[in-house]
Amino acid sequence: MGVRRQVATSGLATSTRTLIPLVLSLEYLEVLELHLRRSKQILVDPMVGCMDSSLAVVNHEACLRVAKQIKEWNVPADYEDIALDDLSCKEIGNFFLLLVSICHQTSPTGKLLLEGIVNGKYRRGWDYLASRLEVDVRQDRLLLRPESWSQVTPKKVTELFRDSQYGDRLVNVERRSELVRDLGKVMKEHGWNSADDIYKVAHGRVAGESPNLFELLGRFKAYSDPVRKKSSFFLSLMRNSGLWQYPDESNLGPPVDYHEVRGHLRIGTVCVASLELRNKLLHRKVVSLEEDLAVRGAVFNAIMLISRACGPCTPSQLHYLFWNVFRSCCTREKPHCRTCPYDCDLPSQYVPLTFIDHERRCPFSFICTSSSVPVKYYDHVFETDYY
């Protein structure tokens, strides 16, 4: 790279929480990697339970800078623009349980984006997936019954999410249909007819004492992610819809996906402590399961730390902030570091955050370690149905 940047460290000889920015000399990285290998330490954040490893670590100073910035904003509430007023509470729970089970890889690297027109509006990714299913279930309420899930086919999944203009954009329908069938199978095995039955068995507990919601959801293949992206997202949707409350809500963390991975790597709240992993991220090479879990675990920990530092913002609220900004402004190829165009599809409630000194730009541009460098991290390449 040929460029050196100053970096704050926590003491190379005494801690594995050394902070590594995007651009460092090769010599420094090699020395640091050797130190981390010798230490063989794995750090566990007692507040959240996810691991920091020698692969990726939380940059505490950067997290505090981000928290300080967020404190100055009026961060919008976390909610989904999905109107389900005509569905019963049990039907809404099943709608979200089904929807989230197949909510992964909607913007797959190297493949066409999931997109389409729903009720006259252009939608992409998660927004298209949710809006399309919303239309489908109004036409056929049987789609919300577990017995229907257990019989779903790849052809049926393709038909449900086909767009008349953009065609069949949903990838890997074979695996998605398998996940839905498993959803129905496990529901039947336990005698559950709705997501509400799962909530009752867990007594509304997110984690901790068994049985709890994370544990019960983990019995579904679709919700078996160790970092619990889908489980956290589903539970947040149920809470934000006003249907469920949790006596231990502090156990509900953010649902981390690839947009947030990309953004936190670039903004510097998560640092890569492995030269091999760093090269994979910069050159879009496939990572291992261990590397995937390490990176997402570090992003999870970073968001939890920021949430604790900036007070009233919950991890879910921060997830919506980060996800929307990173998805719309911190794109893979053309991020809006210095100029955010007026046709940017950032949701309207977040647009006021982009006005800085009467100019539009990424809200995090002044505290982002990557905004002024030409080479930026990508989200990692990993074939999965976890997120």
Q: Taking Cα atoms as reference points, which of 355, 366, 296, 313 lies closest to residue 58?
A: 296
Asked if residue 123 is part of any domain, the answer here is: yes
Helix/strand/coil (H/E/C) assignment for every residue in the chain:
CCCCCCCCCCCCCCCCCCCCCCCCCHHHHHHHHHHHHHHCCCEECCCCCCEECCCEEECHHHHHHHHHHHHCCCCCCCCCCCCCCCCCHHHHHHHHHHHHHCCCCCCCCCCCCCEEEECCEEEEHHHHHHHHHHHHHHHCHHHHCHHHHCCCCHHHHHHHCCECCCECCCCCHHHHHHHHHHHHHHHHHHCCCCHHHHHHHCCCCCCCCCCCHHHHHCCCHHHCCCCCHHHHHHHHHHHHCCCCCCCCHHHCCCCCCHHHHHHHHHHCCEEECCHHHHHHHHHCCECCHHHHHHHHHHHHHHHHHHHHHCCCCCHHHHHHHHHHHHHHCCCCCCCCCCCCCCCCCCCHHHHHHHEECCEECCCCCCCCCCCCCCCCCCCCECCCCCC
Amino acid at residue number 147:
E
pLDDT at 53: 61
Asked if residue 113 is part of any domain, the answer here is: yes
What is the span of the domain harbouring residue 156? 89-240
Asked if residue 356 is part of any domain, the answer here is: no
Amino acid at residue number 279:
N
pLDDT at 25: 32
Asked if residue 193 is part of any domain, the answer here is: yes
Rounded to whole angstroms, how far apart are CA atoms 358 and 179?
Answer: 48
Asked if residue 299 is part of any domain, the answer here is: no
The CATH code of the domain that includes 230 is 1.10.340
Asked if residue 371 is part of any domain, the answer here is: no
pLDDT at 16: 35
pLDDT at 10: 31
Asked if residue 99 is part of any domain, the answer here is: yes
| Intervals of the chain under pLDDT 70 | 1-53
pLDDT at 33: 40
Asked if residue 10 is part of any domain, the answer here is: no
pTM of the model: 0.83
Total domain count for the chain?
1
